Structure 1
Amino acid sequence: MKRIITLALAACMIFGAAFNASAADIKASGGFWVGYDYVNTDNTGKTNDFIQRFRAQIDIIASENLSGTVFFEINNTWGQANGKVGPGSGGALGADGVNVQTRRAYIDFVIPQTAVKVRAGIQGLALPGAVLGSPVLADDVAAIVASGAINPNISLTGFFARPYDADESQTTIDLFGGIVNADLGMVNVSPYFVFANAGDKAQKGSSNQGDLTFNEDAQWYGVAFEVTPMPNLILSLDGVYGKASGTDAGFLVAGKAAYTTDHFVPAIVGWYASGNDSDGEGLMPTIDGQDFAPATLVGEGATGITSDAIFGDALGKWGVSLQADEITFIERVSHTVRVTYVRGTNDDSKDIKNWGEDDSAVEFDLVTTYSMYDNLDFIVDLAYVATDFDDGAAEDVDDVFKAGILAQYSF
């Protein structure tokens, strides 16, 4: 009997070893957000929502040279059903809804006998942005990205992406781009370019295209610098030039200086983005420009899932922002404070997102984070904006107030 048991155990060990040799490691990460969002805008009234979000990323790792990733998201606004199907469904009584969103699904692999890494599928793709993120593209998109280092200090990245393809009637938009990253010690520089090939019938402004704001062939050339001239001081600079076929070109330049102290990180940020002239040209085209967020309500600057981008993105505007991050007076509690002056650069004022040269605002932001546990944060995100809008669609907006209160669990 002992001999039989011994043989059985040996067989289990052999089969177990063979199974483990062929199996992949699976890792899960993500987070939950649950909170309350209040916004008061003069011309549109008040919104008062309880919201939640669940995100889960699953990595299936075969080896250091091969892996796959899927990333899902579920959003709900309490009390809203949205026809039981689509984003935001399932918040009404009964909680039924089909609303699982596929944010990312891609494979990573290394080409054999090389150091070239390839990522293919729906993935996060961001162009360099040293100051506040990219004003051109930083979003999830279907793409193929190849990257590799030519020496310890210089790496190259090339990509093809398809952000829009409605059907076969020339509505496709394809992106081709390249990025160089050079680490030169105190200086890190990342030049890049992007070409967009748009079909003859490609449209802009559709909800299916997100923030896509061009419908012709377009091109962008940019560079991001980060300089550390002395310990604790970081100087950042971004410059990007973009042009859609048949229109005048546009540009954005931005700079930031940040100094790290024992108690907080003070910073000053400034940017200028060209606007439309009397002919309606001069605004830089963008694929998704709301990642460049100098404030809570200019760009996607809110913490978590509360309201942001009420004033659109930073294109067609200029501004200066005084900021202080990581302010700590009490253990496990930190604050971020921003005071931002913003003014339009377009000739004409159109609406609350497209400002003319006489439209301006001052925004005050305060974000407080209390780390209750290592994986649980309680966040209060406040913003108040005093506006001075000239004649236009937003002339009746005097001020805007936004408050978000959230609990975030990360795993």
Structure 2
Amino acid sequence: MKKLAILFIAATMALAAADAQAIDFKAKGIWQVGMGLSQRNFVKSVGGNKTDSNDVMNSRSRIRFQMDAVASESLSGSVHFEIGHIQWGQQAGGGALGADSTSAIKVRMAFMDWQVPDTSLKVRMGLQNLTLPTKAGNSSVAGNLDVAGIVASWQFSETVGLSALWLRPFNDNYSAEGNTNYLDNMDIWGLTLPVRLEGFEMTPWVLYGIRGKNTFNGTQIWNDGNPMTSMGAYPFGMTAAGARGFTDLDTDKMYGSLFWAGLPVAITAFNPWNIKFELNYGYVEGMGRYDALERGVDPVRGSTQRQGWLAKALVEYKTDWGRPGIFGWYGSGDDGDIKNGSERLPSLRANGMFSSVIGDDVHYGGSLQDQKMTYAGTWGLGLQVADVSFMEDLKHTFRVLYWGGTNSPSMVKYATTRTDWNYTNDYEGIYLTTNDGLLEFNINSVYQVYDNFSIGLWLGYIANLMDSGTWQDGHAYLGDSYSKQDIWNVDLTFAYTF
């Protein structure tokens, strides 16, 4: 752990010099440990071969450390280090006997904040964590996104503000003879307009971007698991072996356009009612066509264009004993014609927060962790009671919800491996047709042991109601040998914050 030792030595030296430099150094962070049991693949076997090879029991830990160098209210800098995820027993991540790997140590964020003199204009520059404005169920376009860029914010009054941003998610990752780093950048510009009135809030926002023809062709991007699968044809165009060979074929276009818009709204004027809803739309210009095999035999030229929309809502009623509520969402789905592209909402990095089994960073557990769920191509309706307490410092959330699909069942004939289509730990999430469904149950509890230390117990179960006939009859690689299963998780989490 040499890098970690150097980090803390540097921090100690900086603190010692704080008075001389008139800089106030502040440190904060979180230690997290999670352990759990889980079954996390909706597919049990294909062709008589078991597809779910994941361990039932897992344990992991993570440390996030943040240091701020504050010169004044108008100038500061921040660096965030992350150690982990450390999978206990895994050598590559430093969790095996000896624990001497340094591969798990990384810089998560590094940015500076400054204010233009004599104005209310504030600027953040560097590698930062970004979530687009959202009210119901977290962002379906960009949530918890670590990205390099600049965000400038101006507060006109107590009720109205404006933020402008420029992000560069990708650049210089493409390598080819004679064309290294050629047309491989992605740039995104955006505006948000927060409006806050008594009992009412809304923040309309818009993003426009461009992507080069080679943006997603970088080898390292795919080695790391490309989070941009939810901007293209995925999961179509996969080979039988599951290789991601569909990205961009020959195209005359040098750049393609990207566009998103959203309208999140929160209404609290009717206390104790709390009403939240939001609308999202996204468009990704097609950059060439690819071969999709119909039933694994006949090639069909599919389009890489993708555009779609999503609506979400949450209504809660506040009481002394908890917050009962109803929530739901509906997203556009594929229409069955692969030649005109996908009709699912594209996203940069979505969060799904209505579910604690399929969602993103809902809790730091040992089993179902860091799931990416866009809600694209699905609909859902659920009931929950949040923050129920039967004893001091112990709170529970009870939830039941039904998932459905909005994608045409005829799209199944272009499927390759069923595992790639319905695995909970992926950037796009599960793919559901209008014949499929899921029934989920959650019981989540958090006990605040000390002011800075909490223990959580997360219980989840999803009954697999996907239509086996749809997949067996339409899928070239399954036939009569396809077997499905329910998924579940039991996670115990420990978190110390300072």
User: What TM-score results when the alignment is normalised by the length of structure 1?
Assistant: 0.89
Counterpart of 1:376 in structure 2 is 453
1:213 aligns with 2:290: no
1:56 corresponds, among 59, 65, 86, to 65
Is the 8 Å Cα contact of residues 294 and 301 (structure 1) preserved in structure 2? Answer: no
Q: Which amino acid aligns with 1:234?
A: N
Matches within 5 A, 1:65-104: 65-75=74-84, 76-82=86-92, 89-98=93-102, 99-104=104-109
Is the 8 Å Cα contact of residues 34 and 52 (structure 1) preserved in structure 2? Answer: yes
In 1, Cα distance between equivalents of 2:383 and 2:111: 39
Is the 8 Å Cα contact of residues 188 and 207 (structure 2) preserved in structure 1? Answer: yes
1:28 aligns with 2:36: no
Cα pair distance change 1:301/1:233, threshold 3 Å: farther
In 1, Cα distance between equivalents of 2:18 and 2:187: 42
In 1, Cα distance between equivalents of 2:32 and 2:370: 19
Q: CA deviation at 1:362?
A: 0.6
In 1, Cα distance between equivalents of 2:18 and 2:387: 47
1:256 corresponds, among 308, 314, 327, to 314
Q: CA deviation at 1:232?
A: 2.3
Matches within 5 A, 1:137-152: 137-138=142-143, 139-152=145-158
1:266 corresponds, among 307, 321, 324, to 324
Counterpart of 2:485 in structure 1 is 398
Aligned-CA RMSD value = 2.1
Q: Which amino acid aligns with 1:78?
A: W
Q: CA deviation at 1:209?
A: 3.8
- The residue matched to 1:386 in structure 2 has which SS? strand
In 2, Cα distance between equivalents of 1:231 and 1:176: 37
Greater strand share, 1 or 2? 1
1:155 aligns with 2:154: no
Q: CA deviation at 1:408?
A: 1.0
In 2, Cα distance between equivalents of 1:311 and 1:403: 19
Is the 8 Å Cα contact of residues 222 and 239 (structure 1) preserved in structure 2? Answer: yes
- The residue matched to 2:214 in structure 1 has which SS? coil
Is the 8 Å Cα contact of residues 293 and 314 (structure 1) preserved in structure 2? Answer: no
In 2, Cα distance between equivalents of 1:292 and 1:78: 26
Is the 8 Å Cα contact of residues 382 and 404 (structure 1) preserved in structure 2? Answer: yes
Q: CA deviation at 1:214?
A: 2.5
In 1, Cα distance between equivalents of 2:402 and 2:195: 33
Work out the number of aligned pairs and report it: 387
1:286 corresponds, among 336, 347, 351, to 347
In 2, Cα distance between equivalents of 1:245 and 1:295: 31
Cα pair distance change 1:200/1:326, threshold 3 Å: same
State, as a whole percentage, how many aligned pairs show the same letter.
29
Q: Which amino acid aligns with 1:293?
A: M
Is the 8 Å Cα contact of residues 306 and 346 (structure 2) preserved in structure 1? Answer: no
Cα pair distance change 1:21/1:93, threshold 3 Å: closer
Any gaps of 5 or more consecutive residues in structure 1?
Answer: 1-17, 83-88
Is the 8 Å Cα contact of residues 381 and 401 (structure 2) preserved in structure 1? Answer: yes
Counterpart of 2:298 in structure 1 is none
1:300 aligns with 2:306: no
Counterpart of 1:126 in structure 2 is 131
Any gaps of 5 or more consecutive residues in structure 2?
Answer: 1-16, 45-51, 175-180, 233-255, 287-304, 416-420, 423-429
Q: Deviations over 1:193-230 (max 9, x none)?
A: 01121002222883354245326421011111111132
Counterpart of 1:343 in structure 2 is 404
Q: CA deviation at 1:234?
A: 1.1
Deviates more, 1:343-352 or 1:332-341: 343-352
- The residue matched to 2:231 in structure 1 has which SS? coil
- The residue matched to 1:276 in structure 2 has which SS? coil
1:363 corresponds, among 418, 440, 443, to 440
Counterpart of 2:418 in structure 1 is none
Q: Which amino acid aligns with 1:250?
A: G
1:135 corresponds, among 132, 140, 156, to 140
Counterpart of 2:193 in structure 1 is 180
Q: CA deviation at 1:107?
A: 0.1
In 2, Cα distance between equivalents of 1:93 and 1:248: 46
Is the 8 Å Cα contact of residues 258 and 268 (structure 1) preserved in structure 2? Answer: yes
- The residue matched to 1:213 in structure 2 has which SS? helix
Cα pair distance change 1:241/1:313, threshold 3 Å: closer
Is the 8 Å Cα contact of residues 117 and 148 (structure 1) preserved in structure 2? Answer: yes
2:273 corresponds, among 233, 242, 251, to 233
Q: Deviations over 1:276-304 (max 9, x none)?
A: 12123201111011x13211233216312
Q: CA deviation at 1:336?
A: 1.1
In 2, Cα distance between equivalents of 1:126 and 1:48: 32
Q: Which runs of 4+ in 1 moved over 6 A?
A: none
Cα pair distance change 1:212/1:299, threshold 3 Å: same
Q: Which amino acid aligns with 1:149?
A: Q
Q: Deviations over 1:329-368 (max 9, x none)?
A: 0111111111110011111355211111111001101111
Cα pair distance change 1:314/1:233, threshold 3 Å: same
User: What TM-score results when the alignment is normalised by the length of structure 2?
Assistant: 0.74
Greater helix share, 1 or 2? 2
Q: CA deviation at 1:22?
A: 3.5
Counterpart of 1:196 in structure 2 is 209
In 1, Cα distance between equivalents of 2:115 and 2:34: 41
In 1, Cα distance between equivalents of 2:158 and 2:494: 41
Counterpart of 2:37 in structure 1 is 38
Q: Which amino acid aligns with 1:371?
A: Q
1:47 aligns with 2:56: yes
In 2, Cα distance between equivalents of 1:369 and 1:62: 37
Q: Which amino acid aligns with 2:462?
A: V
Q: CA deviation at 1:186?
A: 1.8
